[in-house]
């Protein structure tokens, strides 16, 4: 009897070790000997075989276990963690996918901090897992019963949302994905970190410039105070994050904010969106460079791309491709249907608000500055440039250096690509399009005024 028991313990040890290492042969042998071994858990942590396989990224074993009808995809260990949480924690994307496919519940809370799998993915910075869980939330019962945006902003036991955790742990990619999916940029925590901290406070503490950049671009308020009255700037100073503090200093230039109206454009073309994001980040980095230079902080190497290696072939692009609003950048964005074109920066500026309005949830759709039609879709301009006898498609924006070769056409000097907007440009070049007359407020943050129609 005693011998039998020790044999079982040895089997169990072999079982979990085989699961961990993906040793299918041993697993099958042990299962044949004792089908019940599949329900065993480890002695202390009470991990099931599925927990161990998921945490170790043993996708085939996860499949094998899930195919066995007696395995619960949502089994709990000692800390009420599910296999999905462990897969998200360790960034095992194929296991995350497999578990969700098998019906694992994304809305489970552990007993350690009251966190979900979304918190785990955000905290450990596994952006792919985060994206997969969010996609699942859109289609699963969670969005029906809980609401998608509520899930994105789900709080742990101390009131931290996934965005708080990603900002604190220096996970800019996760910060970006969460914001794009409706995470509230100014939400304050209950007890996590310092009470009343916003994601910006936590990013200031973590010291990630990329996180701060993302949060500011999404409208995070530099003047929000935590429960002890500190603004993010104070937090950055306290933690000796000098460059972060320079950006967070309320007296330094306001960053450009990703315009809310663009979020309302139905199914914004992914390429167009990427271009607009690049444009926004580029403008902000230019500002950042000035702020950092002024404050004596070292400038990060990627803050500025060098202007020296201008592609000679690109200068053959014809004049008609120059943006008719700023006469500085090349047209990179086309409004679908009417076909009017402008550069990404101007597209942004037309829709740009300094701060998203917290009161009016519904914003008017952005309209084309040339013909006043509602912008339903933006696409990326692809221009054919003769590089060699064979024509080659060139994505204009990706070589933004091109603008350097056109400095002579600039209307005015200055560093911001938005300067052209304060002048009333000539629209002679647009006559071929039969557009109406367009004029701009001197404050380019305001909506564009349009007179007459084409």
Cα torsion 385, 386, 387, 389: sign: positive
Check residue 338 for interaction with Zn ion (CB under 5 A).
Answer: yes
Q: Which of 119, 103, 190 is nearest to 154 (CA)?
A: 119
Does 256 contact Zn ion by CB under 5 A? no
Q: For residues 72 and 410, which CB has a smaller minimum distance to Zn ion in the complex?
A: 410
Q: Which of 185, 323, 330, 438 binds Zn ion (CB under 5 A)?
A: 323
- Least separation, in Å, of the C-beta of 345 and Zn ion? 6
Q: Binding to Zn ion by residue 343, rule CB under 5 A? A: yes
Token look-up 């042969």 returns 25
Nearest distance from residue 412's CB to Zn ion, in Å? 13
Q: Which residues of 328-339 are buried (b: 16+ CB within 10 A; e: fewer)?
A: bbbbbbbbbebe
In degrees and rounded to multiples of 5, residue 276 shows phi and psi of -65, -40
Task: Choose which of 61, 166, 244, 346 interacts with Zn ion (CB under 5 A).
Answer: 346
CA–CA separation, 371 and 340 (whole Å): 8
Binding Zn ion (rule: CB under 5 A), the pick from 164, 170, 201, 340 is: 340
Determine, following the binding rule CB under 5 A, whether residue 378 of this chain makes contact with Zn ion: no
Binding window for Zn ion (CB under 5 A); candidates: 111-119, 126-134, 345-353, 405-413: 345-353
Q: How far apart are CA 262 and CA 279, in angstroms?
A: 14
Which pairing describes strands 382-386 and 449-451: parallel, antiparallel, or unpaired? unpaired
Q: Which of 367, 371, 381, 448 binds Zn ion (CB under 5 A)?
A: 371
d(CA 15, CA 53): 11
Of 124-132, 195-203, 206-214, 362-370, the segment contacting Zn ion by CB under 5 A is 362-370
Closest distance between Zn ion and the C-beta of residue 426, in Å? 14
Closest contact distance (angstroms) between CB of 289 and Zn ion is: 21
CB 127 within 8 A of CB 116: no
Among 64, 292, 317, 326, binds Zn ion (CB under 5 A): 326
For position 368 contacting Zn ion by CB under 5 A, the verdict is yes
Question: Is residue 40 within a helix (H) or strand (E), and if so which, with residue range?
Answer: none
In the bound state with Zn ion, the residue whose beta carbon lies nearer, of 189 and 329, is 329
Per-residue x/- track, 266-305, Zn ion (CB under 5 A): ----------------------------------------
DSSP 367-390: B-TTT--B---EEE-EEEEESSSS
**Nearest approach, Cβ of residue 322 and Zn ion (Å):** 8
333 binds Zn ion (CB under 5 A): no
DSSP 334: E
Contact in structure between 85 and 48 (CB atoms under 8 Å): no
Is residue 405 classed as helix, strand or coil in its secondary structure?
A: helix
Helix/strand/coil for 410: coil
CB of 353 to Zn ion, least distance (A): 18
Q: Judged by CB under 5 A, which of 370, 397, 418, 444 binds Zn ion?
A: 370
Footprint on this chain of Zn ion (rule: CB under 5 A): 323, 325-326, 329, 335, 338, 340, 343, 346, 368, 370-371
């Amino acid at each position: 009897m005693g011998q039998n028991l020790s044999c079982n313990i040895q089997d169990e040890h072999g079982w979990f070790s085989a699961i961990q290492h993906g040793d299918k042969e041993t697993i099958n042998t042990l299962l044949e000997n004792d089908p019940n071994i599949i329900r065993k858990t480890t002695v202390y942590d009470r991990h099931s075989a599925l927990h161990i396989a998921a945490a170790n990224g043993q996708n085939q074993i996860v499949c094998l276990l899930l195919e066995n009808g007696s395995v619960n995809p949502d089994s709990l260990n000692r800390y009420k963690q599910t296999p999905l949480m462990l897969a998200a924690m360790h960034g095992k994307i194929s296991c995350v996918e497999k578990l969700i496919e098998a019906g694992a519940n994304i809305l489970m809370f552990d007993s350690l901090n009251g966190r979900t799998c979304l918190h785990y993915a955000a905290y450990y910075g596994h952006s792919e897992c985060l994206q997969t869980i969010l996609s699942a939330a859109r289609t699963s019962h969670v969005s029906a019963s809980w609401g998608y945006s509520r899930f994105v902003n789900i709080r742990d036991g101390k009131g931290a949302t996934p965005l708080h955790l990603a900002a604190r742990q220096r996970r800019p990619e996760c910060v970006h994905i969460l914001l794009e999916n409706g995470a509230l940029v100014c939400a304050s925590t209950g007890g996590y970190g310092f009470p009343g901290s916003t994601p910006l406070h936590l990013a200031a503490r973590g010291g990630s410039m990329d996180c701060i950049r993302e949060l500011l671009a999404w409208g995070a308020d530099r003047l929000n105070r935590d429960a002890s009255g500190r603004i993010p700037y104070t937090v950055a100073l306290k933690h000796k994050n000098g460059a972060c503090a320079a950006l967070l200093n309320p007296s330094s230039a306001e960053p450009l904010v990703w315009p809310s109206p663009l979020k309302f454009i139905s199914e914004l073309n992914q390429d167009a969106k990427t271009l607009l994001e690049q444009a926004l980040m580029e403008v902000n980095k230019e500002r950042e460079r000035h702020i950092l230079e002024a404050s004596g902080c070292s400038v990060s190497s990627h803050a500025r791309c060098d202007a020296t290696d201008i592609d000679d072939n690109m200068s053959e692009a014809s004049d008609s491709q120059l943006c008719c609003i700023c006469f500085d950048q090349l047209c990179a964005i086309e409004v679908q249907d009417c076909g009017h074109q402008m550069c990404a920066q101007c597209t942004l500026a037309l829709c740009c608000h300094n701060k998203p309005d917290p009161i009016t949830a519904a914003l008017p759709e952005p309209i084309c500055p040339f013909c006043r039609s509602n912008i339903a879709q933006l696409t990326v301009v692809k221009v054919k440039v003769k590089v060699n006898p064979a024509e080659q498609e060139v994505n204009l924006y990706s070589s933004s250096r091109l603008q350097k070769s056109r400095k002579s056409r600039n209307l005015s000097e200055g560093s911001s690509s938005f300067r052209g907007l304060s002048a009333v440009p000539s629209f002679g070049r647009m006559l071929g399009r039969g557009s109406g007359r367009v004029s701009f407020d001197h404050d380019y943050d305001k909506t564009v005024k349009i007179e007459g129609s084409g």
